[in-house]
A and B are shown apart, each in its own frame.
Chain A
Amino acid sequence: MKVNSPLEAYKYLPKTNCGRCGEDTCMAFASHLIDRSNKATDCLPMVEDDKFTKKLEELEALLAPEIREVTIGVGEKAVKIGGDDVLFRHKLTFFNKTAYAYDVTDTMDEKELLERVNAIQNFKKFYVGDFLSVDMVAVRCVSGNPETFATTVKKVMETTELPMVLCSFDPAVLKASLEVAAERKPLLYAATKDNWQDMAALAKEYEVPVTLFAPNDLDMLKTLAKTFSEMGIDDLVLDPGTMPTGKDLKTTFGNFLKIRRAGIEGDRDIAYPIMAVPLTAWMAYDDEISASYWETVLASVFTIKYGDIMIMHSIQPHALLPQVHIRDTIYTDPRKPVTVDPGIMEVGEPNADSPIIITTNFALTYYTVESDVSSNQVDCYIAVVDTDGIGVEASVAGGQLTAAKIKKTLDDAGFDLKDKTSFNTVILPGLSARLQGDVEDQLGSKVLIGPADSGRLPGWLETNWPPENK
């Protein structure tokens, strides 16, 4: 992106504040162009009126990200990778989360294959109001046989709508699979210095994105990218090789840094998304636990530093959970505090006999508590206290969660404990036990100390609720 401020983008807009884009003013629209929540083509006057055509083109060119954006797959499950403008997330944010692909091979029997594909597409982990999941299936040709590979790819397609990476260095193998899969816009893996002409022909004929693989040879990687671009193929992904251990790994790390830095700094020839293959950990370690640990370590390193898409092998929960979490961590916009609105929330259909649970407005805390009770069919109230988006333990220590704040939350919501509840009792999180006396004084109510982790609330309520005496 060549523009940094809303003011620069504003210059290109009609400045009529017509409101058709849904924003009140052109300046508001401009600021959402910069944070990418609006596109230039959302400005209908610019699209409709010929006199703006040139300005629209200029604006779109200015707004285009430094790193090319590549789409893999079709429909709702399609993934976009690349599209970044900065080297450090606090400067703007990182866009388009790293796409995680997990492998299957064409030597698996049908049962094993389908089970694995289903395990990949069905994995989900609740987090902050939504589920984290993984994105793609990488199909590796181990058989070397084009028909076998095509049959496997077809079975994968019949089982899932997740986008695919089709992996082989043999153009005949990839051609056979493209005959059945091209409409799904899979990513080809990979063109090398030896097969590049055939791979380019395939990418062109079937109009699919393609990976360029030049292990530890950045000159060759750039050479391939420049050549493909000259041929009109710009949906490219770069794989500089993921060497899994020792000094080779240090070199790989350096390669990722170098490619991204050059791309962000304006070397258009190499400004494409980067692929990491943590799966190579399995070539260096024999036992499953070591391999899956090291694979997760590599996945974490290259999620943090510039991997846009990666291929992994382990689908064990101890590998998947930290992977989806580190990705969410790095791609969360660091400029926005993740909070929910304070107030009294109703879960299920609470009545006067239902518990009232105190928590903070840190989104993670709130959604965790909310999902812990709602998924266990507990009808209750949750009093969400404004702690400036700080979690329970830290906000007790820092003075953002106090008896007075809890009272204010209830008062602001017009929630009178004596009036609306039978027991005049609130439940404090276990980690805020030390507020008990103060809260009792301030609210004139009884206070129960709940468990330290809200995951234990349902069980805890079974023995502690309703409170013994009304």
Chain B
Amino acid sequence: MSNKLKLADFNKLFKDLDVESLEGVTIEGDIELNISGGGGLNPAMAYALGHEAAQISLHIANIARMLGYPVDQLFAEGMGLVPPSPATVAEPAIQNLIDSKFEVAKIAEWNTPIQEVTLGATSADGGSRKKTVTLGGEKAMPYYFDAEMPHRNYVTIDVFDMPISMAKSVKGNYADVMEDPAEWAKKVVNDYNADMVTIHLISTDPLINDTPAKEAAKVVEDVLQAVDVPIVIGGSGNPQKDPEVLERAAEVAEGERALLASASLNLDYERVAKAATDHGHAVLAWTQLEINAQKELNRKLMKQCNVPRDSIVMDPTTAALGYGLDYAYSNMERIRMSALMGDEELNFPMSSGTTNAWGARESWMKESPLAGDSDWGPREYRGPIWEIVTGLTLSLAGNDMFMMMHPTSVQVLKEITQTLFGSIESTPTDISNWVTAEV
């Protein structure tokens, strides 16, 4: 390249090339454009030079394209026309974060609050309880940010009117009081932080002791004397005997606003409902994992038996973790959502027989009966957590009140539900470096 070419000559040279016929082109040496304008370069001259340079670039680009070089991409990038294609760039080309604001709407369909139901009556209301418990009032799914939850969850601990067989790790806590329901009740309130006591009159079952209703009612009086929290009165589950037992119990508990457990479709619910309305108690409407049965029973209690809305609590049945909790969870969740969206046959507070968790073999059996299972570990640790997780799951589905047994389960369940409710203070944990935490 010893000959000097004017820019215009250079341009002309390429202009007439039929680029499609180029074969075996080699470009040797450096192409040097020496533009020596000095200070005297006038604008017209600069424009002309620029034009020539652009023309040359175009021609060279055409040749480059012929040789398979990605010319357009280079041009586009060079001119800042498009972002670089990721395929050709190793490093992320974004230099700054794309600022973004997070927003989410509240759920508008939840427009009907859950009915409030108060249990227990103080002297001002003609009773002798020192505390009352109010369930319900929710305007959103539990612990959701859509609306404040007005009342926390409550735990009522089971007490029986006779010694019963129970899992070893539960029994250990009650061995000293099992012969005396009143002492048992005191223990669960004073030592185990029960918000309420449920007295189950199971000895009245004709197949157990067939204790007369009148005698069973005496146990209710004893329990009311022993503790000052609201109480739940449970029968034996015998559909023939329960109405009579609950009638007598309701009579002796008059004025204390107890919860009668239970009215169900398989017994004379009218008698149970009448016992509640006659003596100022609330009634637990129990059905078996069936949303339509629950609607039917609630409707009958309201319309046929004239039970006031503020005196109905539902028990849609608790199945234990691993033993049908999948159904119990969705059943409660569907009930609560229908209620929030306006179903007035379902918008009542809910109760769970969380104690059912102790029926799961994982909670009480010493070791797995199956050779293929990994070690189950000590049952003393398994049992309480089974009851906790069963209750916790239903709390997230909308359950308001838990019937429980193991002191550890009660303590942990209360801690987690009250944490999610927002009433537990604690020292914040700095989690920003959890990856390196020594645990």
Question: Which residues of A approach B to under 8 Å, CB–CB?
Answer: 88-90, 122-127, 131, 140-142, 144, 167-169, 189-190, 193, 196-197, 200-201, 204-205, 215, 218-219, 221-227, 230-232, 241-250, 253-254, 257-258, 261-262, 265, 267, 269-270, 277, 279-280, 282-284, 289, 291, 293-294, 296-297, 300-301, 304-305, 313, 316-322, 325-326, 328-330, 332, 334, 364, 371-372, 375-376, 391, 393-394, 397-398, 453-456, 458
Residues in B whose Cβ lies below 8 Å from that of A224: 97
Across the interface, do B373 and A124 meet the contact criterion of CB distance under 8 Å? Answer: yes
Across the interface, do B361 and A453 meet the contact criterion of CB distance under 8 Å? Answer: yes
Residue of A nearest to B320 (CB): A325
Residue of B nearest to A364 (CB): B323
Residues in A whose Cβ lies below 8 Å from that of B381: 289, 316, 318
Known: A230-B98, A304-B396. A257 touches B333 (CB 8 A): no
Across the interface, do B370 and A318 meet the contact criterion of CB distance under 8 Å? Answer: no
Across the interface, do A296 and B385 meet the contact criterion of CB distance under 8 Å? Answer: yes
Residues in A whose Cβ lies below 8 Å from that of B180: none
- Cross-chain contact of A246 among B90, B145, B424 (Cβ < 8 A): B424
Across the interface, do B396 and A305 meet the contact criterion of CB distance under 8 Å? Answer: yes
Across the interface, do B374 and A317 meet the contact criterion of CB distance under 8 Å? Answer: yes
Across the interface, do A140 and B436 meet the contact criterion of CB distance under 8 Å? Answer: yes
Residue of B nearest to A320 (CB): B374
- Cross-chain contact of B94 among A142, A227, A458 (Cβ < 8 A): A227
Given A190-B435, A204-B92, A270-B102, 8 other A-B residues pairs in contact with their CB atoms under 8 A: A89-B333, A124-B374, A204-B86, A219-B99, A246-B425, A248-B429, A250-B419, A329-B325
Chain A interface, >50% SS class: helix
Question: B72 contacts the other chain (Cβ, under 8 Å)?
Answer: no
What's the minimum C-beta distance from B315 to chain A, rounded to whole angstroms? 14
CB interface residues, B 411-438, toward A, < 8 Å: 412, 416, 419-422, 424-438
Chain B interface, >50% SS class: loop
Question: B133 contacts the other chain (Cβ, under 8 Å)?
Answer: no
What's the minimum C-beta distance from A287 to chain B, rounded to whole angstroms? 12
Across the interface, do B365 and A265 meet the contact criterion of CB distance under 8 Å? Answer: no
Residue of A nearest to B359 (CB): A393
Across the interface, do B329 and A372 meet the contact criterion of CB distance under 8 Å? Answer: no
| CA distance in complex: A437, B144 (Å) | 52
Residue of A nearest to B364 (CB): A453
Q: How many residues of B contact A (CB 8 A)?
A: 80
Question: B327 contacts the other chain (Cβ, under 8 Å)?
Answer: yes
Residues in B whose Cβ lies below 8 Å from that of A282: 437, 439
Across the interface, do A258 and B102 meet the contact criterion of CB distance under 8 Å? Answer: yes
Known: A317-B377, A364-B323. A88 touches B431 (CB 8 A): no
Across the interface, do B329 and A330 meet the contact criterion of CB distance under 8 Å? Answer: yes
What's the minimum C-beta distance from B212 to chain A, rounded to whole angstroms? 23
Residues in A whose Cβ lies below 8 Å from that of B421: 250
Interface pairs (11), CB distance under 8 Å: A227-B98, A244-B429, A246-B426, A265-B105, A280-B429, A293-B385, A297-B388, A318-B377, A328-B326, A329-B326, A398-B288
Across the interface, do B431 and A277 meet the contact criterion of CB distance under 8 Å? Answer: yes
| CA distance in complex: A267, B95 (Å) | 24
- Cross-chain contact of B419 among A230, A246, A322, A364 (Cβ < 8 A): A246
Question: B248 contacts the other chain (Cβ, under 8 Å)?
Answer: no
Residues in A whose Cβ lies below 8 Å from that of B44: none
Across the interface, do A250 and B422 meet the contact criterion of CB distance under 8 Å? Answer: yes
CB interface residues, B 336-351, toward A, < 8 Å: 337
Across the interface, do A297 and B392 meet the contact criterion of CB distance under 8 Å? Answer: yes
Across the interface, do A322 and B386 meet the contact criterion of CB distance under 8 Å? Answer: yes
Question: B305 contacts the other chain (Cβ, under 8 Å)?
Answer: no
Across the interface, do B370 and A372 meet the contact criterion of CB distance under 8 Å? Answer: yes
| CA distance in complex: A269, B393 (Å) | 30
Across the interface, do A284 and B429 meet the contact criterion of CB distance under 8 Å? Answer: yes
| CA distance in complex: A178, B210 (Å) | 72
Across the interface, do A329 and B393 meet the contact criterion of CB distance under 8 Å? Answer: yes
What's the minimum C-beta distance from A58 to chain B, rounded to whole angstroms? 26
Residue of B nearest to A126 (CB): B370
Residues in B whose Cβ lies below 8 Å from that of A283: 429-431, 434, 437, 439
Across the interface, do A375 and B436 meet the contact criterion of CB distance under 8 Å? Answer: no
Residues in B whose Cβ lies below 8 Å from that of A230: 94, 98
Residues in B whose Cβ lies below 8 Å from that of A325: 321-322, 362, 389
Across the interface, do B97 and A371 meet the contact criterion of CB distance under 8 Å? Answer: no
CB interface residues, B 363-392, toward A, < 8 Å: 365, 368-378, 381-382, 384-386, 388-389, 392
Across the interface, do B371 and A375 meet the contact criterion of CB distance under 8 Å? Answer: yes
Across the interface, do A123 and B374 meet the contact criterion of CB distance under 8 Å? Answer: yes
Question: B22 contacts the other chain (Cβ, under 8 Å)?
Answer: no
Question: B143 contacts the other chain (Cβ, under 8 Å)?
Answer: yes
Residue of B nearest to A231 (CB): B92
